[in-house]
Amino acid sequence: MVNENKSKKILLLYALIGLGFVVFLSVMLITTLKSRHLPSLYTEKSSKSERGSIISADGFHIATTKKLYKAVVNNRYIDPQKEDLFIELFSIYSGIDPLRVKKRLHKQKGLVVLSYLIPEKQAQYLKKLAYELRQYKVFMELKNERTGLRSVHGLSIIESGETRLYPYGDVLTPIIGYPQKLEDDGYTRIRGIKGLEKRFDNELSSRQDGSSRGKRDVNSYIILNKDSFTKANLNGLNIKLTIPISLQIKLERMCSNMKEELRAKQVMLAIMDSKTGRVLSMATSNRFLPKDIQKSDYPFLNSGMVEYSFEPGSVIKPITFALLLDKKRINPYDLVNGHNGKFRIGQKVITDEHKFAWLSAEDVIVHSSNVGIAQLAQKLSGFEFHEGLKSFGFTKKSTPDLIYEKAGSLPSINQLNRDIYKATCSYGYSMRANLMQLLRAYSAFNNNGRTIKPQIVDSFIDEFKTQTKIENEEAVQVIQSATASRMKDILIKTVNKGTGTKAITPGLVVGGKTGTAHIVERGQYVNKYNTAFIGFANDKNVNLTIGAIVIQPKKSQFASQTAVPTFKKAVDILIEDGYLKPDIVK
C-alpha cells in the first residue's frame, strides 16, 4: 500500500512538472509570437534642403530662404493645473501673444497646431522648452484606450516648410520676380513665378534632401560606422548677379523721384558695360514687395525692361543712319533738303519740330529731322532695311537671363519696299522694341561695331562655395568698326550741339540720341507720349551703354526735358559711386 501511494505521488509530481513545462513552452510561444513595442535598434533622421539665394554683385542676399517649423501639442495631456504656465512659457519662447496661444489651444480637443510659422532660431528655443516642460511635469501620463499603454505626449516642434525672404524690400523688383508656395508631401516648398525666380527655378530649387540611418546608441543618436548610411543634403544653387545693390538702390530712388517730378506713368533705366555686356543696373520707378503683393501692384509685376514693347521713335534714327553709312549709300557731309519741316510721301505728310531748309546728313541725326531721315532711308531696299534692323537685334530676345520677353516687331520686307513704311520705320514708328533691345543695339556704337547681349547673372555658387562663372555670348559684328566710330562721333555731337545737351558731363565722353513717340490706344495715336534717351558715357577705362525710358510723362512730351535729365542723373550717380571717373584737369 505504501509503495502504491509513493508511485502515485511520483506520477503526480511528473504530471505537474510536465504541465509546468507545457505552460512554460506556451508562454514562451505566445511571447515570441505576440507583437511587442520594443525600442528599435536602428534610428533614422532626415533634413530638408533649401532653395538657393539670389545675391547681388557686392555680396548682399537680395532673396533668400528661411526654414519654418510648426508647434504641435495634444491638449489632452496638459495638466489643467499647469495650463497657464504652459501658455505663458510658450508665448515667451515663441513671441506669440498669450491670448492667441490660448485661443489656439482651445480650438479643439486633441492635436492642436499652435503655429505654422516659427523661425528656425525660435524653434531651437522651443525644443529646449519642450524638454523643460516634461521635467516640470506639465504634461500628464495617460493610458491609451486602444493599446492599453500609458504614455506622455508633450510639445513637438516639427520642420514644416520654407519661406522666401527679401531683406531689401522692393529692390530690383520686378527683375527678381516673386514665388508661390507648393505643398510637397506635407512640406511647403517655394517655386518661382516671375523674373529670375522663375527663369532659374531649376537651379535655385533644392536638389536633394539629406538623411542618415544606422544603429542607435542609448541616447538615440546614430552610430556612424561602416554599417550606417548617409545621404548628403544638397541645397539649391545660389545665383550671383552682375548688379551691385548699393548702386541699384540709388538709381531706383532717382527713378521714383523722376516719376513724381515728370508726372509719368513709369521711369525705367538700364546700364550695361558696352564691351562685356555685364549689366550694372536695371532700375524702375514701379516696384512691389514680393511678400506683400497688392492689387494695385499687378501692373508692375511684369518686367518693363523686356516685357514693355513700344514704338521707340527717333532713337532708331542712328540705327537707320548706320545701315546707310555702312553700305556707303550716304556720306555724312551730303546735303539733305529739309523742305522747311514738311515733306509729303503719298498720303502722309512728315513733319519736323524745327524747320530746316538744308542740312548735312549727319545733322539729320544731330537735330533729329524726320524729314531728313525719311528721305535718306529710301536709299535702302526693303530687304536691306529689314535684315539690317534684325542684325541689330530687333525682333530677337535681348538676354537669356529673363523670361516672357516681348521681342517686338518690324514691318515685313514687302512693307519696307513701300516708301511710306520705309520712312516711318526710319524714325522708329511702324515697329516695336523694348529697352534692353535698344541697349544691345546701341552697344555697337560704343564697342567697335559689335553688339553684346546684356548679362544679368554672373555665376552659380553651390553650398561648397564653388563658383561657376557664366560666360556671355560673343559680341556680334553688325557694322564695320569705321562706321561705328563715325556714328559715335555723331552721337557725341548730338549731345554737345543737338537734342541731348542736358546730358553733357565735363570730363566724360557722352553721346546719345533722344526719341519721342506717340502712343497708340485702340488702334489710334493719342495725345500721349513715351520719351527715350539711349547713349553712352565713357571715361578712360570704362565704356557704359545707358538707356532711359519715360512712359507717358505729363510735364513735357520732349525727351530733352524728360529722358535726358534722367540719363544725366544716372551718370552723376555713377560718378559719385566711382563707376565713372571724369578726366578733369584741375
Nearest-Å Rg of the Cα atoms of the chain is 37
Beta-strand (E) ranges in 49-88? Answer: 54-55, 61-74
- Any idea what DSSP says for residue 368? T
Euclidean distance between CA atoms 333 and 321, whole angstroms: 13
In this prediction, residues 551-579 reach a mean pLDDT of: 97
Out of 134-138, 322-326, 460-464, 493-497, least confident range: 134-138
Question: Element (H or E) spanning 111, and its range?
Answer: strand 111-119
Q: pLDDT band for position 159 (50/70/90)?
A: confident
pLDDT at 553 over 70: yes
Cα–Cα distance list, 549 to 25, 97, 533, 566 (Å): 92, 48, 7, 9
Euclidean distance between CA atoms 323 and 319, whole angstroms: 6
Q: What is the pLDDT of residue 132?
A: 86
The contacts of residue 200 (CB under 8 Å, 6+ apart) are 192, 239, 457
- 23-37, 522-536, 537-551, range with greatest mean pLDDT: 537-551
What mean pLDDT, rounded, does the chain reach?
89
Task: Give the total number of structural domains in the chain.
Answer: 2
Flag whether 206 is in a domain.
Answer: no
- 69-73, 301-305, 531-535, range with greatest mean pLDDT: 531-535
Flag whether 8 is in a domain.
Answer: no
Sort residue 246 into left (φ over 0), alpha (ψ -120 to 50) or beta: alpha
Cell of 528: 500721349
The contacts of residue 249 (CB under 8 Å, 6+ apart) are 168, 171
The answer to whether residues 151 and 249 belong to one domain is no
The answer to whether residues 318 and 410 belong to one domain is yes
In this prediction, residues 431-460 reach a mean pLDDT of: 97
pLDDT at 219 over 70: no
pLDDT digits (tens, 9 = 90+) for 6-16: 666 677 667 77
Flag whether 332 is in a domain.
Answer: yes
Euclidean distance between CA atoms 120 and 71, whole angstroms: 12
The answer to whether residues 161 and 253 belong to one domain is no
In this prediction, residues 325-341 reach a mean pLDDT of: 95
Q: What is the pLDDT of residue 373?
A: 97
- 218-227, 374-383, 522-531, range with greatest mean pLDDT: 374-383
Flag whether 534 is in a domain.
Answer: yes
- Parallel, antiparallel, or unpaired for β 61-74 and 238-241? unpaired
In this prediction, residues 357-366 reach a mean pLDDT of: 95
Flag whether 100 is in a domain.
Answer: yes
* Residues 369 and 355: beta-carbon distance below 8 Å: no
- 21-30, 200-209, 542-551, range with greatest mean pLDDT: 542-551
Euclidean distance between CA atoms 21 and 36, whole angstroms: 23
pLDDT digits (tens, 9 = 90+) for 38-82: 455 666 667 788 899 999 999 999 999 988 888 899 888 888 888
Euclidean distance between CA atoms 542 and 528, whole angstroms: 36
Angle at 230 between CA 229 and CA 232, to 5 degrees: 160
Flag whether 114 is in a domain.
Answer: yes
In this prediction, residues 23-30 reach a mean pLDDT of: 68
Q: What is the pLDDT of residue 409?
A: 96
Amino acid letter for position 269: L
In this prediction, residues 330-339 reach a mean pLDDT of: 94
Q: What is the pLDDT of residue 29?
A: 66
The answer to whether residues 149 and 278 belong to one domain is no
The answer to whether residues 138 and 276 belong to one domain is no
Q: What is the pLDDT of residue 124?
A: 87
Beta bridge pairs of residue 475:
none
217 or 508: which carries more pLDDT confidence?
508
Burial of 574 per CB tally in 10 Å (0-12, 13-18, 19+):
buried
Q: What is the pLDDT of residue 38?
A: 46
Instruction: Tell me the torsion sign for CA atoms 105, 107, 111, 116.
Output: negative
The answer to whether residues 447 and 542 belong to one domain is yes
Euclidean distance between CA atoms 408 and 393, whole angstroms: 10
* Residues 445 and 422: beta-carbon distance below 8 Å: no
Euclidean distance between CA atoms 177 and 253, whole angstroms: 19
pLDDT at 563 over 70: yes
Q: In this structure, what CATH number is given to the domain that contains residue 152?
A: 3.30.70
pLDDT digits (tens, 9 = 90+) for 97-145: 999 989 988 888 888 888 888 888 888 888 888 888 888 888 888 877 6
Out of 17-21, 138-142, 150-154, least confident range: 17-21
- Any idea what DSSP says for residue 339? G
Cell of 431: 515697329
Question: Element (H or E) spanning 353, and its range?
Answer: none
559 or 233: which carries more pLDDT confidence?
559
Flag whether 41 is in a domain.
Answer: no
Residues of the domain holding 96? 64-165
Q: In this structure, what CATH number is given to the domain that contains residue 332?
A: 3.40.710.10
Beta-strand (E) ranges in 378-508? Answer: 450-451, 457-461, 467-469, 476-477
Q: What is the pLDDT of residue 245?
A: 97
The answer to whether residues 260 and 136 belong to one domain is no
Q: pLDDT band for position 206 (50/70/90)?
A: confident
Which among 150, 165, 180 is the end of a domain? 165
Residue found under cell 542618415 = 212
The answer to whether residues 420 and 547 belong to one domain is yes
pLDDT at 1 over 60: no
Q: What is the pLDDT of residue 223?
A: 66
The answer to whether residues 261 and 124 belong to one domain is no
In this prediction, residues 526-548 reach a mean pLDDT of: 96
Edge-first strand order for the sheet with 229-231 is: 42-47, 210-215, 229-231
In this prediction, residues 511-528 reach a mean pLDDT of: 89
The answer to whether residues 140 and 264 belong to one domain is no
- Any idea what DSSP says for residue 160? E
Which among 165, 191, 225 is the end of a domain? 165
Which among 121, 143, 165 is the end of a domain? 165
Flag whether 2 is in a domain.
Answer: no
Out of 21-35, 175-189, 287-301, 497-511, least confident range: 21-35
The answer to whether residues 419 and 556 belong to one domain is yes
In this prediction, residues 245-269 reach a mean pLDDT of: 97
Neighbour tally for 168: CB within 10 Å = 17
Q: What is the pLDDT of residue 577?
A: 97
The answer to whether residues 142 and 251 belong to one domain is no
Q: What is the pLDDT of residue 13?
A: 67
